[in-house]
A = this chain, B = another copy of it.
């Protein structure tokens, strides 16, 4: 095994986050090319936003910023050749998807599931808080929906996801996507390349 494969990047994502969509679609090939192992870490921004005094997305609280974000995302998806459809609801309830991802990332289908959720949500404008939608996505990956949804709602999974969110808070994560490399935090889809490069860079 080459030495570079020891390099690891933590990819912190939240299913309600728009900019996680391009990040989730881009990360695997870029990391593979850079010889970096990615740890996919779902978490919830809700508690973190609440601690900042927000009860919804800042893109809703600040309309100019929100309008800009949707246009920016549209341009970004066009440049990356990703489908884009603005969902009617924003932000969407992401708890169920995050719990299912927590299950899947311990199995072989986790990363595919994450990409499928983002594609459904921001590529097709679908409602990812609906168990039927999540079930469909699971079935599309050859994963049994009933068993998996039950496992996702188990105490083990709930506790795991909660611990993960607490980890994110401890790391000073305040938005998504975030990337952490050797304790160094990078925020935003724009920083993915820099974060990957950091795995081979000595500390500043």
A residues touching B (Cβ–Cβ < 8 Å)? 52, 62, 64-65, 67-68, 71-72, 74-75, 78-79, 172-175, 185-188, 190-191, 194, 204
Q: Name 19 A/B residue pairs within 8 A (Cβ), A-sorted.
A: A52-B62, A62-B174, A64-B172, A64-B173, A64-B174, A65-B174, A67-B172, A68-B172, A68-B174, A68-B187, A72-B186, A72-B187, A72-B191, A74-B204, A75-B194, A75-B204, A78-B204, A79-B194, A188-B190
Contact of A185 among B62, B68, B194, B204 (CB under 8 A): B68
Residues of B within 8 A of A186 (CB): 72
The 7 closest A-B pairs by CB, nearest first: A64-B174, A190-B190, A64-B172, A65-B174, A52-B62, A78-B204, A68-B187
Residues of B within 8 A of A64 (CB): 172-174
Q: What CA separation (Å) do A204 and B190 show in the bound complex?
A: 20
A60 to chain B, nearest CB (A): 13
Chain B residue, CB-CB nearest to A198 = B75
Residues of B within 8 A of A173 (CB): 64
Q: What CA separation (Å) do A78 and B62 show in the bound complex?
A: 32
Q: What CA separation (Å) do A191 and B185 show in the bound complex?
A: 20
Q: What CA separation (Å) do A67 and B174 show in the bound complex?
A: 11
Chain B residue, CB-CB nearest to A74 = B204
Residues of B within 8 A of A187 (CB): 68, 72
Residues of B within 8 A of A71 (CB): 185
Q: What CA separation (Å) do A172 and B173 show in the bound complex?
A: 28
A64 to chain B, nearest CB (A): 4
Q: What CA separation (Å) do A89 and B172 show in the bound complex?
A: 23
